[in-house]
Amino acid sequence: MAERRVNVGWAEGLHARPASIFVRAAMAAGVPVTIARADGDPVSAASMLAVLGLGAEGGEEIVLASGSDDADAALDRLAKLVSEGLDELPETV
């Protein structure tokens, strides 16, 4: 299983707008991805309610993971999105 550990770059954490941006990117990734707090259980990264339910705060470490063989590029893109706290989806997602 491929995984990336990354700190949340949005100051407000994964709440409302940042969560929406992240979930849209996860759905567009083309592979199933999970997200978890460093000490928590993974949830679907494509579920807005699940991502909001994490309550991940700005600067907190999260874990992105996928069991797909071709997940590395998708996880790299999602990790960059989260760590940089981008305000919109990059063209490459």
Q: Is residue 27 part of a domain?
A: yes
Report residue 75 as tokens: 């996880």
Rounded to two decimals, what is the model's pTM? 0.90
As a whole-number percent, the residues of the chain with pLDDT over 70 amount to 94
DSSP state of 11: T
User: DSSP string of 48-72?
Assistant: HHHHHHH-PPTT-EEEEEE--TT-H
Closest CA to 84 of 45, 48, 58: 58
Domain annotation covers residue 92: no
- With respect to residue 40, please indicate whether it lies within any of the assigned structural domains: yes
Catalytic residue among 3, 9, 15, 24: 15
For residue 73, the domain's CATH number is 3.30.1340.10
Q: Check if 15 is active-site.
A: yes
93, pLDDT greater than 90? no
In this structure, are residues 48 and 24 in contact, taking their beta carbons and an 8 Å threshold?
Answer: no
**What does the pLDDT read at residue 86?**
76
